Amino acid sequence: MLEKERLRSSQMSGERKEGAPDSVAEDKYYPMAPEQWRGGLLDLREYHVIKFGRVLQSLFYLLKYDREMICEPDTNKLDFKLAKRQIHGELFRRMGEFTPFGPKDDEFKEYQKLSFLKRNLEGIDEEKVEEYSVVLVKLLRWLNYAIELTCDDVVDRRD
């Protein structure tokens, strides 16, 4: 958290640190602070059933979790009992380290690709999610923003 503040203040004063973002879009993006989400996500583990499971599913896929870790065997249907076991320190670490910028050299499975994630989140009504859970709507907004920034970055690098 302090490092982000130092980076912001150095950018405002005109200094550039090694590894500091170069574009305007990168200046507007700050990695998700896991501390903000820890309490709300840990509370979700107490649920027995969850609405809008595709939000959680897309979060896991974006952070490169395998389908077998969160879905029913041989399907793409979220198994909330499996998924809530994954809500712990590793998830929060991956959330904090995620960045939408730069080339991704890893191998991606079909369900971890941006086009799949976009389709998975299509049609989810943000207002209904907000009525159900503040944490899930914040995750939904962040996911949409992260996917949009990643797509824009890919297009910019291609040009």
Placement of tokens 């170069």 in the chain: 22
Q: What is the pLDDT of residues 93-108, one digit of tens each?
A: 898 888 888 888 788 8
- Average pLDDT over every residue of 53-82: 94
* Count of CA atoms in the C-beta half-sphere (13 A) of 41: 24
Tokens of 127: 């207002």
Q: Which residue has the higher pLDDT, 112 or 67?
A: 67
With bands split at pLDDT 50, 70 and 90, how would you rate the model's confidence at 89? confident
The answer, yes or no, to whether residue 33 has pLDDT greater than 70, is no
H-helix segments, 45-123: 53-62, 67-70, 80-85, 89-97, 114-121
Q: What is the pLDDT of residues 117-142, one digit of tens each?
A: 999 999 999 999 999 999 999 999 99
Q: CA torsion angle for 63, 39, 128, 66 (degrees, to 10)?
A: 20
Amino acid identity of residue 127, one-letter, is: E
- Residue 138, burial from CB neighbour count under 10 angstroms (0-12, 13-18, 19+): middle
The answer, yes or no, to whether residue 10 has pLDDT greater than 80, is no
Instruction: Name residue 71's beta-bridge partners.
Output: 78
Q: How far apart are CA 61 and CA 150, in angstroms?
A: 14
Q: What is the CA radius of gyration of the chain?
A: 17
User: According to the model, what pLDDT value does residue 1 have?
Assistant: 42
pLDDT over 70 percentage in the chain:
77
- Average pLDDT over every residue of 57-74: 94
Longest dimension (CA), the chain: 53
